[in-house]
């Protein structure tokens, strides 16, 4: 196997024999007879295992020299895997060496198989720890890079003040958070901001789009599977819950789950443990849960489409993000933010907007919210030829003109018109629109769904 072994002993016969046995099994086996040479060599080269004698003075049996050298090595190279080697099978000495940081203990003369199996096991352990350390370092660098490109929450709107205050309060807790709001209002950005401000910031942020996972793959994707659990399960695979352990799990489009899948998710959240498909042993998970949906979740509960116990489980803290039309003062701020970002990305220099363009943007209702504004600015930057963005550079969906009242006497047509009028006059505020119509909020949600509004 690949591995570098260092043997330290003052007995040349021991060095020769150990090297003869081990060189057939490892890529590199070095030997040292003078213990004073070990620290300089370890400072220059890496070894997976060090086989260290305990006595270097003629007739010595106390093991003091070996224990002193063990302490020096671990002080200089704390992660070194050291097997102590002595001709005296003193169990107390073995216990002392292990307490002081040795990984194992061999008694000379060793059996050949025992020597090989012990060194092999410790070599594999050493390499596994190195791999884990490398992956952790890589993850930290990736997280650092992610944070450098972090998309911040840009807002000065009054309607966002309570949202920002709540984020400040809950971010550094493990409270589960439910994010509600229309498509494009920035729910994922808020989720990432909560994670970035939390004590879990150096761990993984795992996003799962539940709307894109089929019912048959749900358990495998979220809980993982064992090899052979189904036709395509060619190897063991962890699910998103396990991967997110220690960090944050963001379940987007939670309102898309069917009732059977809701029950499976509820069980995992209640017990904070999952069972891989094809396995029998549960696996504990340590996650901070953030869920999001653009659906009328409370209305869905009233209509039996969403489990009330699951809703209560995932919304220790609830944040309802306002649509962009209720954040008028943020349109200029966000436009400027996106303009600078995309001008830099596409190397367009210092672009600015002509007079009157901002007024056009502020008068538009932005049905796609911040995401629509972001894409509109990006397109305008790409298509621009000069130093200024013109009104024509922004292709916005024409605002629906309010037509004259329908001549239809059908109740459904009149009801739809009343809802549209209420939504328009209340600037999309569903609570106010429901009051104006004399309905409860859940009734308004149900009617909007019925008429495709």
pLDDT digits (tens, 9 = 90+) for 108-142: 888 899 999 999 999 999 999 888 877 776 666 56
Which residues 6+ apart lie within 8 Å of 18 measured at CB?
7, 9, 29, 31, 51, 115
CATH 1.10.20 fits 411-451, yes or no: no
In this chain, the answer to whether the domains covering 169-320 and 411-451 adopt an identical fold is no
* Two structure tokens written together for 354: 């002509």
pLDDT band at 7; cut points 50, 70, 90: very high
Burial class from Cβ neighbours inside 10 Å (0-12, 13-18, 19+) for residue 356 reads exposed
Indicate the domain borders of the chain: 4-129, 169-320, 324-393, 411-451
**Number of CB atoms found within 10 A of residue 412's CB:** 11
Q: Which fold has domain 324-393?
A: Helicase, Ruva Protein; domain 3 (1.10.8)
Higher pLDDT, 428 or 157: 157
- 159 contacts 223 by C-beta, under 8 angstroms: no
Average pLDDT over residues 375-392: 90
CATH of segment(s) 4-129: 3.40.50.2300
Q: Which residues are registered as beta bridge partners of 8?
A: 32, 52
Q: What would the pLDDT profile of 394-422 be if each residue is shown by its tens digit?
A: 888 665 544 455 556 677 778 888 888 88
Residue 198 clears pLDDT 80, i.e. is over it: yes
Q: Report the mean per-residue pLDDT for the chain.
A: 87
* pTM exceeds 0.75 for this model: no
| CATH fold of the domain at 169-320 | Rossmann fold (3.40.50)
Tens digits of residue pLDDT in 309-366 = 999 999 999 999 999 999 999 999 999 999 999 999 899 888 899 988 999 999 999 9
**pLDDT tens digit string along 243-282?**
999 999 999 999 999 999 999 999 999 999 999 999 888 9
């Amino acid at each position: 196997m690949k591995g570098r072994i260092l043997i330290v002993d003052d007995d040349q016969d021991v060095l020769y024999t150990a090297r003869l046995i081990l060189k057939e099994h490892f890529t590199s086996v070095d030997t040292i007879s003078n213990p004073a040479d070990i620290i300089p060599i370890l400072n220059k080269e890496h070894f997976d295992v060090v086989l260290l004698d305990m006595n270097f003075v003629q007739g010595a049996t106390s093991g003091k020299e070996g224990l002193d050298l063990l302490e020096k090595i671990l002080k200089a190279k704390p992660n070194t895997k050291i097997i102590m080697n002595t001709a005296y099978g003193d169990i107390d000495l073995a216990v002392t060496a292990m307490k002081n940081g040795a990984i194992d203990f061999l008694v000379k003369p060793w059996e050949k198989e025992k020597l090989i199996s012990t060194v092999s096991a410790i070599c594999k352990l050493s390499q596994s720890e190195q791999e884990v350390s490398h992956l952790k370092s890589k993850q930290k660098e990736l997280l650092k890079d992610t944070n450098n490109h972090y998309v911040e929450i840009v807002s000065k709107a009054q309607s966002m003040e309570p949202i920002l205050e709540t984020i400040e309060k809950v971010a550094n807790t493990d409270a589960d958070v439910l994010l509600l709001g229309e498509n494009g209002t920035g729910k994922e950005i808020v989720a990432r901001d909560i994670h970035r401000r939390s004590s879990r910031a150096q761990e993984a942020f795992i996003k799962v789009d539940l709307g894109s996972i089929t019912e048959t793959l749900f358990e495998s994707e979220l809980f993982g599977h064992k090899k052979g659990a189904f036709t395509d399960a060619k190897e063991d695979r962890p699910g998103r819950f396990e991967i997110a352990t220690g960090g944050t799990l963001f379940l987007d489009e939670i309102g898309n789950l069917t009732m059977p899948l809701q029950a499976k998710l509820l069980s995992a959240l209640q017990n904070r443990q999952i069972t891989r498909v094809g396995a029998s042993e549960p696996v504990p998970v340590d996650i901070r849960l953030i869920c999001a949906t653009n659906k009328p979740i409370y209305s869905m509960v009233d209509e039996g489409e969403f489990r009330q116990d699951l809703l209560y489980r995932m919304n220790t803290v609830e944040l309802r993000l306002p649509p962009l039309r209720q954040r008028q003062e943020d349109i200029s701020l966000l436009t400027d933010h996106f303009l600078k970002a995309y001008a830099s990305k596409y190397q367009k220099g210092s672009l600015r907007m002509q007079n009157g363009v901002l007024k056009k943007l502020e008068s538009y209702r932005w049905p796609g919210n911040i995401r629509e504004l972001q894409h509109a600015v990006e397109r305008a930057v790409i298509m621009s030829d000069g130093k200024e963005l013109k009104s024509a550079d922004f292709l916005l969906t024409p605002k629906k003109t309010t037509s004259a009242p329908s001549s239809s006497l059908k109740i459904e047509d009149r009801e739809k018109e009343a809802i549209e009028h209420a939504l328009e006059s209340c600037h999309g505020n569903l609570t106010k629109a429901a009051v104006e119509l004399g309905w409860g909020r859940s009734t308004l949600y149900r009617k909007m769904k019925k008429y495709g509004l």
